[in-house]
Structure 1
């Protein structure tokens, strides 16, 4: 044991080495106020050299020094501003106490530029934390489980069974199906059942975000990455989804150049922010969804073949509503319950009309039709005349001979629902607030829809 003990001189040398390694300026005085030790950083900050001050009373070299006061009162001081000629710095001071007696004092200095830099870094870190809090506040945490998928259709139940098995893995999943079939509901259910359920579920609609902005949304960017960028940079959705699931809806609309960057993240598990130099590791499970024929897009060079195989590890096809019309009564019951209208019944003729319709908009269109019918129905029974014109057979409209696009059908149905509700609530601000509440959307969303649908 004695061989491992340092001699007094060795201990002094060792301590001096430690002090020299400290990035802050250090000055130590003994009980008489004589300077016993400084490090090179102290010289760099104050400009005072070792041979000018070592072994001399501190007040003799620095008449305005505050450290000797610490010897007298034994009280530490923090953040004391000091200036030596043109050198400005901030000092923390503390007494050295042994056997309840003050035997010296130590001064720790930081230059003003360094303090300013640390202060700016702290500000940036606080903004970063706030930005992350706001971003996490916008994250769509999974609220749906497999129990929310209504129906007993054979193909639907087979898809759910496979989805539950897929949820137990960490493999990428591709959800295929027409618009409105409930792909995000399935994605949330998979996430909720997986080992990642306590981590974020982050959805992004690749078709809804302009291609020029999609890269920054996915990967984020560093401070000053481009002219209009946020001065503090931005966190990307990959970063926010770390440990959880990133749901890439309408992935068939992702630009080809961005597909290659997505592929690299999936292969390497790392990404780089726009304007950044460092690679960031990320642990994200990908669930992608599309209503497009990706194999045809691959053949036509509109979608990368290697990315297709990467996201298509497990493919789950969600059947359209027209292939499972027997589920319509159960879905209606669920939708009416969701709207708090369990007392409302659907007349047999109206139910027959719903069964005859082909539902190009699937569950989403059915949900809009139910909202519309509830608004039109003044009693407790939904009849044929309460259904949207696009569904009622009296209009002569049949999906098989329609020249109209699906988006036109959905837009017209949405417009009818909103107009009917506003006819009841009125178009004043109070009326629009009531309409928004009845429609289950925010007032801002209602105003956006009014403008988009040209409703006055």
Structure 2
């Protein structure tokens, strides 16, 4: 008996600890117990109802009906005098028989609050889905980085090894060299490849907005803010990679908050009180000399060393001009009928390419659109390239012997055509035909130029 009483006391303690109103009736409809929350919600005390038939005290009660039909009911609106609440009801079964029924009540304000929270959560999920849908998922791999330059290959190998770690990476290089291409390739080579890759250009977003973009904000955090708050890019990138392009343009004040996230792995939203923990790998990129900016106190020294765990420098196109024909061939892989004449290839190889790969890609697309036939010639190139080349040629002609200029041009033309046709016997026959010389002459020139 003592054990049974202990169990009953234990059960009553559990019921009292529940934050919903609880009422229990036995198999004949007599109220066996209620908790304090039930009294708080309905205004009915234990003295008024316990030990009495529920239907006598509450003539409109539906719980006795549950005893008869054994069917649970949810979200039933009830009102007791001025008290409004919502009730869930269910039968209590024991060995196949209904031995009672239980009623669980929530006050209308509580229901409204929960409904508001549910709507808020649904909106946040919708925001997250939309945001994830806008993410530039990493689609490039190291196979998309074209070129045989020694320095480029060394950078690729170092990037591949680094990708297997969680170390932060700093990518340096001029605009258009392919820093995001490297960042995406590193992400796809890492264990985070199945998680989001989230890029953000720190130079393209005003400093006043960048903080809310990175960390998000709570509802009502500031005037004109979204009433449902905002999910930040750090939160979106959780378990994945956040690519901070042009980090040298980030404000000094925001650098401090970024440093804390990198050190602690946590942050607070604007207007928020709770810390959020994230697991994010940061790949930063810049076309600026960050070390020089540190010395001038325009970039935080502690942040520089935090993001500079691994430093990869991407060479500009002008330092690997031998890769140009290979890049052109890659860009033309879906344009099977289009070729470049040798003179045009020579021009492209001797242009200084201040815009790097991006400028080369745009020049190729422009030339294709300007070409009426299958062969792209000098006149199809953008004016900026033609003018720059003509100016360079005027200078080089006065500085080099004519024979060397002709030999360089011939060697470049042969190499570029072979890059397109291949070096098999069949490819060399095709190259000889394109160049307008015999196959024997082609072999002689290959020997002469050590191709």
Secondary structure in 2 aligned to 1:392? Answer: helix
Q: Aligned residue for 1:423?
A: none
Q: Aligned residue for 2:356?
A: 362
Q: Aligned residue for 2:368?
A: 374
Does 2:241 match 1:219?
no
Q: Aligned residue for 2:402?
A: none
Does 2:240 match 1:239?
no
C-alpha contact 1:220 1:274 (8 A) present in aligned 2: yes
Distance in 2, matches of 1:394 and 1:175, equals: 29
1:175 and 1:229, CA in 2 relative to 1: closer, same or farther beyond 3 A? same
Does 2:338 match 1:344?
yes
Tell me by how many angstroms 1:142 deviates.
Answer: 0.9
Distance in 1, matches of 2:310 and 2:388, equals: 44
Greater C-alpha Rg:
2
Q: Aligned residue for 1:422?
A: none
Q: Aligned residue for 2:72?
A: 76
**CA-to-partner distance for each residue in 1:352-394, whole Å, 9 max, x for gaps?**
1111110000000000100110011111111000000100148
Distance in 1, matches of 2:96 and 2:145, equals: 72
Equivalent residue in structure 1 for 2:38, among 25, 30, 42:
42
Distance in 1, matches of 2:388 and 2:75, equals: 82
1:317 and 1:6, CA in 2 relative to 1: closer, same or farther beyond 3 A? farther
Secondary structure in 2 aligned to 1:94? Answer: strand
Distance in 2, matches of 1:137 and 1:398, equals: 47
Tell me by how many angstroms 1:210 deviates.
Answer: 0.8
Q: Aligned residue for 1:188?
A: 184
Distance in 2, matches of 1:90 and 1:107, equals: 10
Secondary structure in 2 aligned to 1:152? Answer: coil
1:282 and 1:6, CA in 2 relative to 1: closer, same or farther beyond 3 A? farther
C-alpha contact 1:390 1:397 (8 A) present in aligned 2: no
Distance in 2, matches of 1:289 and 1:398, equals: 32
Q: Aligned residue for 1:418?
A: none
C-alpha contact 1:88 1:111 (8 A) present in aligned 2: yes
Q: Aligned residue for 2:5?
A: 9
Aligned alpha-carbon RMSD (Å): 1.6
Q: Aligned residue for 1:384?
A: 378
Distance in 1, matches of 2:80 and 2:369, equals: 78
C-alpha contact 2:136 2:198 (8 A) present in aligned 1: yes
C-alpha contact 1:333 1:342 (8 A) present in aligned 2: no
Q: Aligned residue for 2:411?
A: none
C-alpha contact 2:351 2:389 (8 A) present in aligned 1: no
Distance in 2, matches of 1:219 and 1:48, equals: 48
Distance in 2, matches of 1:49 and 1:330, equals: 86
Equivalent residue in structure 1 for 2:253, among 242, 246, 257:
257
Q: How many aligned positions are there?
A: 394
**CA-to-partner distance for each residue in 1:65-119, whole Å, 9 max, x for gaps?**
1212222222222111100111000111122222333222211111111111111
Distance in 2, matches of 1:40 and 1:287, equals: 56
**What is the TM-score with the length of structure 1 in the denominator?**
0.84
C-alpha contact 1:353 1:393 (8 A) present in aligned 2: no
Equivalent residue in structure 2 for 1:133, among 129, 132, 136:
129
Distance in 2, matches of 1:182 and 1:200, equals: 20
Tell me by how many angstroms 1:64 deviates.
Answer: 1.6
Tell me by how many angstroms 1:396 deviates.
Answer: 4.9
Tell me by how many angstroms 1:395 deviates.
Answer: 7.7
**What is the TM-score with the length of structure 2 in the denominator?**
0.85
Uncovered stretches (5+) of structure 1, i.e. residues with no partner: 402-456
**CA-to-partner distance for each residue in 1:320-377, whole Å, 9 max, x for gaps?**
000000000000011112xx21221111110111111100000000001001100111
Distance in 2, matches of 1:140 and 1:261, equals: 24
Distance in 2, matches of 1:127 and 1:121, equals: 10
Tell me by how many angstroms 1:398 deviates.
Answer: 5.7
C-alpha contact 1:29 1:58 (8 A) present in aligned 2: yes
Structure 1 stretch 142-151 or stretch 64-73: which is displaced more? Answer: 64-73
Q: Aligned residue for 1:109?
A: 105
1:166 and 1:394, CA in 2 relative to 1: closer, same or farther beyond 3 A? closer
C-alpha contact 1:35 1:57 (8 A) present in aligned 2: yes
C-alpha contact 1:83 1:89 (8 A) present in aligned 2: yes
Distance in 2, matches of 1:37 and 1:398, equals: 97
Distance in 2, matches of 1:137 and 1:378, equals: 39
C-alpha contact 1:89 1:110 (8 A) present in aligned 2: yes
Distance in 1, matches of 2:2 and 2:136, equals: 60
C-alpha contact 1:389 1:395 (8 A) present in aligned 2: no
Residues 258-407 of structure 1: pairs in structure 2 closer than 5 A = 258-337=254-333, 340-393=334-387, 396=390
Tell me by how many angstroms 1:155 deviates.
Answer: 0.7
Tell me by how many angstroms 1:259 deviates.
Answer: 0.5
Q: Aligned residue for 1:60?
A: 56
Tell me by how many angstroms 1:13 deviates.
Answer: 0.9
1:358 and 1:395, CA in 2 relative to 1: closer, same or farther beyond 3 A? closer
